[in-house]
């Protein structure tokens, strides 16, 4: 298994639209294992392949306290959404330190493939519904801050660019031998 680098907003690669997975094979199962390890290490409750610069429709989620209930969604499709919406604070591993409220459909029905390539349908509400929609947005090239006002987006962008510069200045630069 391997820890993967997570792209940080405002990296333009976060806006790439992911293509469907053609075949759920060992390459995809390795990607799922690496994404799960990366999500657990971050730590986070979800991760989309887009965030690790792989532009295929793969999502991992684990909402359990024990971190032992991995959910894998490959080529997910939302087939129904409730009229009712709910507002919840969201965070994002690609926008560390930023949390803000997003309004989304409260209940969704999603169809996807699992890590064995088997199709399943899931009705989700609460945090699972939020997390699936947040991760599916990543696969469409959308980051949650795009739901916020222009003013907030500009502030977040400046903050992230500043943090990136500080990070780089703090890390010793290693010259190639």
Beta-carbon count within 10 A of 37 CB: 16
Distance, CA of 40 to CA of 2 (rounded, Å): 12
Identify how many contiguous H helices and E strands the chain contains and give both numbers. 3, 7
Q: Which two tokens stand for residue 142?
A: 């959308």
Positions in 81-120 near ligand K1U (CB under 6 A):
90-94
Positions in 56-95 near Zn ion (CB under 5 A):
92
Query: Rounded to an integer, what is the distance from CA 132 to the centroid of its chain?
Result: 9
Positions in 50-69 near ligand K1U (CB under 6 A):
none
Number of residues near ligand K1U (by CB under 6 A):
16
Q: Is 137 in the site for ligand K1U (CB under 6 A)?
A: no
Number of residues near Zn ion (by CB under 5 A):
1
Residue 82 DSSP one-character state: -
Q: Is 44 in the site for ligand K1U (CB under 6 A)?
A: yes
**Is 90 an active-site residue?**
no
Active site (catalytic) residues: 135
Binding site for ligand K1U (CB under 6 A): 43-48, 90-94, 130-131, 134-135, 138
């Amino acid at each position: 298994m391997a820890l993967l680098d997570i792209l940080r907003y405002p990296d333009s690669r976060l806006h790439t639209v992911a293509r469907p997975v053609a075949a759920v094979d060992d390459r995809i199962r390795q990607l799922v294992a690496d994404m799960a390890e990366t999500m657990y290490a971050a730590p986070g409750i979800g991760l989309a392949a887009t965030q690790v610069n792989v532009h295929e429709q793969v999502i991992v989620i684990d909402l359990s306290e024990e971190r032992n209930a991995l959910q894998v969604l490959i080529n997910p499709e939302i087939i129904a959404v409730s009229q009712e919406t709910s507002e919840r604070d969201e965070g994002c591993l690609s926008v560390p330190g930023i949390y803000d409220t997003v309004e989304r459909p409260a209940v969704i029905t999603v169809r996807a493939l699992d890590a064995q390539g088997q199709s399943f349908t899931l009705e989700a509400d609460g945090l699972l519904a939020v997390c699936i929609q947040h991760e599916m947005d990543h696969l469409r090239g959308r980051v949650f801050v795009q739901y916020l006002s222009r003013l907030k987006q500009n502030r977040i962008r400046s903050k992230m660019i500043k943090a990136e510069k500080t990070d780089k200045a703090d890390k010793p630069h290693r010259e190639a031998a």
